[in-house]
Amino acid sequence: MPPSSEPTRQSLTKDIYTTTDEYDTLRDRFLRENESTYGYGGRIDRIREEEFPTLKGQVYLDHAGTTIPCSSHHRALYDDLSTHLYGNPHSQSPSSSLTQQRVTAVRTRVLRMLGVDPGSGAYDVIFTANASAAIRIVGECFPWQAGSQYLCLREAHTSLVGVRECALAVEGATVRMVTEEEVEVMFPRMDNAMSHENPRHETAIGADKDRIGSVHERDPKDARTGPVLHRNADNDAHMGWEPEHGTGPKSLFAYPAQSNFSGTRFPLSWTNRCKRRHPGTHMVLLDAASFCTSSPLTLSNTASHPTACTPDFVCMSFYKLFGMPTGLGVLVVRPEAARILRRNYFGGGTIDALAVDSPWHISRSLPHERFEDGTINFLDILSLDHAMDAWERVFGSPAPSISLFSTRDADTFRAISTHVGSLTGLLVEGMRGLVHGNGRPLCKMHLEIKDGEKGEDGRSRQGSIVNFNLRREDGGWIGSGEVARLAALEGIHLRTGRFCNAGSFQRWLNFTAEDMKANFAFGKSCGDEIDIINGRPVGAVRISLGAMSTVDDVLHWLRFLREYFVEGTDERVTAEPAEERKVVNHQEGNGIVVSDLVIYPIKSCHGYSIPHGKRWNVTPRGLLYDREWMLVHGESGVALSQRKFPRMTLIRPRVDLEAGYMITEAPGLKPLRIPLDSAIGEKVVDGPLCPSKVCGDSIPIVRYMDPEIATWFTMAMGGVACTLARHPADSTSSRFVKPHLLAERERQAGSDDGFDRLSPLSLSNESPFLLISERSVEDVREKMRERARRGGEEISEEAGRTAGFRGNVVVRGLDRAYQEDGWRRIKIGGQMFEVGYIFLCSFFALLSVLGCGHGDLDPYNLFDDGRKTGHTTMLRILSRLLPGFAVYSLPSSHTTGHGQLPPSQSS
């Protein structure tokens, strides 16, 4: 949405982004102006301290993923299970009867929470594994036939979109993915307001007969054993199922009450308007999983109630509402709607009678009895009861409920909605107020908010979710992965990606179906680390608030955005014009030299500095023997990482080319000699080729089976059962330099030289070579010393040195810190390299070994603090050898010395 269409009311956060005092001013002002809506009557700080101790020192902004359970919930559940005996509810014992009573009580409580009188029979509660499982029941059991139509809002969760496959499996059924505007046309607020047909807006799926396929009925003669069975007409009549030719084809309209991507709330009145427009033929499935996290929902025909609606099916997951139980969802269904659902399968506990040698059975009558297959998750249902108790006790209003059928559970969510709404307003205002020095907004917000627009209930149409991407001062995009990595360093929890909502992603980031297919062909898939392709973001950032969120969470987030991403307001570093970013050769007097070459023979272990004057082979995968070995778990074969096992930094391998051995050392152990050539030595026996993974890529490795090697590394790792594995240099590698790095690199350069992009990798994360400058590292060390002095701490002499950044090439002689950010190509020892960048992982593991272990002293964090040029958390990579200077099939005699840069220039 362009800035001109955003709200124009006076901003609380304008010009308040510089100092802690100014943030305190904003905090005080917010508390004064939201005294009646924020904080549950002043209780929020006590609530956080007593009920959510795990949030101390953390900024949790992923409540749309799951909220956090109360501590009192844990204790109450433990006490309950410790003092009561609960049996299988299908049995008739006293313990089973107790379970049945409790489950029935919770089922009733869920209805009351949704404003339903349990005695009315208007709805029934079917417990499922989660919201997706509830949706699947509807999709697979709906009576699709020729003429049926599945209408689904484009901005729906993947689980709703997946129902279309159930419809398309039936010949003659069609699917329409519709926009909000199209729904308003189809189901107008007044029957005579406008025609509900608008062919110009229709996007039909399934019109092609070949795409739909046909329904094949199995020939009875195909049965291999037993009698030929036919559908059970007795059970159809018992359940009141209508013949398919009865009232005509049934259609289904499905949509979310709130988008899990953007937080947009869609009209609840669509449920009634759809059925009023198409009585007897159209049914409505409402996905309330996102909406109910911070808003009350009322299933009622009460016209005066702003959130009242009467969908046929409603689904939700309780972990999103209460944090736990995590394995419990619900399908709330009208009994009339449940009668049209036709099941081909029945499970234990869902039938009243059954004959095995005849196709005859009688299903149970109530919807939950027919659809809860087998033994229900009764302990999670008991946990749900305690969750609702805890939520009511912690967040509920002391005032009694005024609704006849609503309980304090519903009142609790009204209080939560008010609290979260005030914080969402502050969050959106603050993010919109962040601008670069040239006036360009930092945040591209994916929001539905329009000036003055309110929902049907009189509240903002924006829920507690905020989705966005960040832009640099020059207009370039900041990858969502970069934001996530930096946020993690600051103790901020958020989510990035497409959030299982392709329709919203396509809408807000302007991607067509063809774009999505092209991205997949490029290598993009759900859950990977690719965040920019061809200069366009292929993922977004989502933050979301919850019942226990505070104003300090929001202000910490705003401060984080400003300190890490706002450019042009800090004069410590100024960007140079591109044409001035050149590395001049040593003979011309700038004195830039290669001061160190380092390899890391065993991935994640200590590096080996190549002695000065020694020549070393360069291969297409990197320096010879760099990251060629790895440690893997003794049983599972999973690769060990320094992040989980900091002791790996104490293992020091070195390579003796003349003797043909890698020698490994560790405290308290004798050196271990491992032949570089696996054929050398009688004790070393290579195991079979087996798969492992590095950064999500599957690779072939050979595990060493010699017990002496396994024992040595297990002892070096403090008892963690592991052994050594090797990724042979002559193996056919499936790993290459990450294409998104090259694409972003070329976008910044504004050109494409057309060279081969598939530079191979060994076990390195993203690039075969890594470069770091001593000047930049010294700037980091100075910041570490300064912060340590302010905190009354000391850091070890080793902390923050160049070895900690795990670079292969260390350069000396730069005029200033971070000068290497402007390099594009560099020649070293006759080799020309293209220069790119990579993102760094957390430094916490190495810090714990070096003696400075908290985030304020994290060198990666400080690396960014002095680098305000738009490329945060990165080191320079020599991403590939360029053709014409060194081809991939290098002769074994081709070597590279080090000591100074040769007579050449880098652009």
- Edge-to-edge strand list for the sheet holding 661-665: 652-656, 661-665, 672-675
Whether 94-189+246-395 and 20-64+412-565 are alike in CATH topology: the answer is: no
Q: What residue type is 68 in one-letter code?
A: I
What distance in Å separates the CA atoms of residue 734 and residue 760, rounded to the nearest whole number?
A: 8
Residue 91's nearest CA partner among 328, 348, 354, 366 is 348
Q: What residue type is 862 in one-letter code?
A: L
Alpha helices in 281-407 (DSSP H): 318-322, 335-338, 367-371, 378-395
- Kind of pairing, strands 443-445 and 465-471? antiparallel
What residues contact 339, with CB distance under 8 A and at least 6 apart? 239, 240, 241
- Kind of pairing, strands 204-205 and 174-178? antiparallel
Q: What residue type is 730 in one-letter code?
A: D
- According to the model, what pLDDT value does residue 212 have? 26
Could you tell me the mean pLDDT of each successive run of 10 residues in the chain, 907 residues long? Answer: 35 43 82 93 94 95 96 96 94 94 95 92 95 96 95 95 95 94 86 38 37 30 36 52 59 96 92 91 95 90 68 96 95 94 88 87 88 93 96 77 53 91 93 92 85 59 93 90 86 93 92 90 82 89 96 94 79 29 35 84 91 80 86 82 85 93 95 78 42 54 88 94 81 48 44 44 62 81 72 56 68 81 70 58 34 42 46 41 29 32 34
Q: What is the DSSP string of 322-341?
A: HS--TT-EEEEE-HHHHTT-
**Beta pairing partners, 467:** 542
CA angle 586, 588, 594 (to 5 degrees): 10
For residue 559, which phi and psi values (nearest 5 degrees)? -65, -40
What residues contact 215, with CB distance under 8 A and at least 6 apart? 169, 170, 171
Three-class DSSP category at 419: helix
Cβ–Cβ < 8 Å for 447, 263: yes
- According to the model, what pLDDT value does residue 834 have? 67
Q: Classify residue 624 by its DSSP letter.
A: T
- According to the model, what pLDDT value does residue 124 have? 95
What distance in Å separates the CA atoms of residue 158 and residue 506, rounded to the nearest whole number?
A: 13
The third-level CATH classification (topology) of the domain covering 20-64+412-565 is: Aspartate Aminotransferase, domain 1 (3.90.1150)
Domains in the chain: boundaries: 20-64+412-565, 94-189+246-395, 598-738, 769-866
Residue 818's nearest CA partner among 486, 476, 579, 573 is 573
- According to the model, what pLDDT value does residue 836 have? 59
The third-level CATH classification (topology) of the domain covering 94-189+246-395 is: Aspartate Aminotransferase; domain 2 (3.40.640)
Residue 206's nearest CA partner among 171, 163, 157 is 171
Distances (CA, A) of 661 to 159, 610, 618, 627: 55, 15, 19, 15
H/E element, 125: strand 124-128
What distance in Å separates the CA atoms of residue 401 and residue 113, rounded to the nearest whole number?
A: 11
Distances (CA, A) of 35 to 24, 42, 44, 748: 16, 8, 12, 48
Distances (CA, A) of 680 to 627, 659, 677, 688: 20, 11, 6, 17
What distance in Å separates the CA atoms of residue 468 and residue 848, rounded to the nearest whole number?
A: 34
- According to the model, what pLDDT value does residue 646 have? 84
Rg, C-alpha atoms of the chain? 32
Q: Classify residue 315 by its DSSP letter.
A: E
Cβ–Cβ < 8 Å for 51, 336: no
Query: How many other CB atoms sit within 10 Å of the CB of residue 556?
Result: 17
Q: H/E/C letters for each residue in 635-661?
A: CCCCECCCCCCHHHHHCEEEEECCCCE
- According to the model, what pLDDT value does residue 424 have? 93
Query: How many other CB atoms sit within 10 Å of the CB of residue 373?
Result: 14
Enumerate the active-site residues.
Answer: 500
Q: Classify residue 127 by its DSSP letter.
A: E
CB neighbour class for 134 (10 Å; exposed up to 12, middle 13-18, buried from 19) = buried
- According to the model, what pLDDT value does residue 302 have? 62
- Kind of pairing, strands 351-355 and 360-363? antiparallel
**Beta pairing partners, 686:** 704
What distance in Å separates the CA atoms of residue 128 and residue 335, rounded to the nearest whole number?
A: 17
What pTM, to 2 d.p., does this model score? Answer: 0.68
Cβ–Cβ < 8 Å for 845, 642: yes
Alpha helices in 18-93 (DSSP H): 20-33, 44-51, 71-83
H/E element, 722: strand 722-726
Cis amide prior to 89 (ω within 30 degrees): no
